[in-house]
Structures are given as C-alpha cells and as structure tokens.
Copies of this chain bind each other. A is one copy, B any other.
Amino acid sequence: MKEKSKRQTDPALAQARRDQVLCAAADCFRRKGYHGAGMAEISKTAGMSAGHIYNFFASKEAIIESIIEQDMEKVFSIFQEYEDQPGDLVTILLDGLDYAVDHHTDVNQGALDLEMFAEAARNDKVAEQLRKSDCYAREKMRNLLLSERSLIKDLSATELESRIEVMFAMINGITLRKTLNPHVDKATLLLALRPAMRVLLVPF
C-alpha cells in the first residue's frame, strides 16, 4: 500500500486550509462587504479560529489580495482559451459572451467584484493589482484583435483601444446591471449584447 498519510506536517493540508479561508472570506465579503465582514465571521465560516487564519495570511488585507489574485488567474486562463481556439475570431468571441454573461450575472461573483472595485478606490495596493490584471486583459485582447484572423486587424491603435474599452465596459457593466436589476436574465441580455458586441468586432 502506498499510503503516506500521517506525515507530520502536511503541506497539502495547509493549502486546503488556506483555500478554506479564501472561500469563506469570499463568501463573507459577498454578503457583508470587505469592511462589513469581520475576521470573527470569516473564521467561523472557515471552520477555524480567528487566530489560526493568521498562520496563512498576514492580515485581512492579504486575504482580499489573494482573492483578487485568484480572479486574475481565471481571467488569464479565459484569454488563453480564446487564443488557443481555432476558427473565426468573431464567432469565438461572441460565443465567449455566453460564458462571460454567466460569470458576470452570477450575483455572488458580482457582489465580490463590486467589493473589490470599491476597495480599489481607497486601497492603492488593491487598485494596483486590479489594474495590472486589467492591463494584461487588454493586452491579450489587443493581440487577439490584431491577429491575422481578426477582421479589424488594420485599425489604428486608438480605434482599437476604444473598442476594447467599450467591450470591457459592456461586460463589466453587466455586473452592475445584475445588482441594479436582479430580474434580468442571461438570455435577454444576450439578445442585444451580441449585436452590440459584433459591431465592435468588424469594421464600421
């Protein structure tokens, strides 16, 4: 038997604990906001003592930074998929909308995103992280739209930037829409979202 549990210090366990905290914190932040959620509540949600959390994270701030980092990685992987996927770019991106709307209309994820944005407005480190992530995303998008298979690969830098900004504004805006109008559903959104997005992916 290749059982090797009972190792005194199990690094996998530590990682699991860390994730527990991250999950619990995300959950609490969603419900109460970053400032509204106390370490006491987070620790209870995570199923461990408040003090123990500090074995994994230096501070409450470090927790939200870790959460943001996780999010960044998700964004990275999404763009990677776009790049790797063969076929017509317009189609790929418009199909991608489906997933994007799913993600941004997830009321839980949205609340967390909003929390991060609001925190960015007053916490420079968080702002920096978010901007780095966004910068990366814009760069990836730009590369995609400048590739051979793009219909707008000949656009001026400014025109391209503008389109990317508006595309991102639309996508991010959906998060706000879900907050302001929780009744709106994905299918309805896509009805107009797709044409609006398409117009940005082809020459005017």
The SS class assigned to the A binding surface is helix
Q: Which residues of B contact A138 (CB under 8 A)?
A: 181
A161-B184 Cα distance, complex, nearest whole Å: 9
A131-B131 Cα distance, complex, nearest whole Å: 28
Q: Is B180 in contact with A130, judged by CB distance below 8 angstroms?
A: yes
Residues 21-35 of A, flagged 1 when their CB comes within 8 A of B and 0 if not, give 000000000111101
A1-B194 Cα distance, complex, nearest whole Å: 67
Interface residues contributed by chain A, number (CB under 8 Å) = 55
Q: Is A117 in contact with B114, judged by CB distance below 8 angstroms?
A: yes
Chain B, residue nearest A31 (CB)? B122
Q: Which residues of B contact A110 (CB under 8 A)?
A: 121
Interface-forming stretch among A11-19, A58-66, A84-92, A162-170? A162-170
Is A134 an interface position by the 8 A CB rule? yes
Q: In the assembled complex, how far is the CB of residue A60 from the closest CB belonging to chain B, in whole angstroms?
A: 13
A122 in complex: contacting residue of B32, B122, B161, CB < 8 Å:
B32
A184-B119 Cα distance, complex, nearest whole Å: 20
Is A46 an interface position by the 8 A CB rule? no
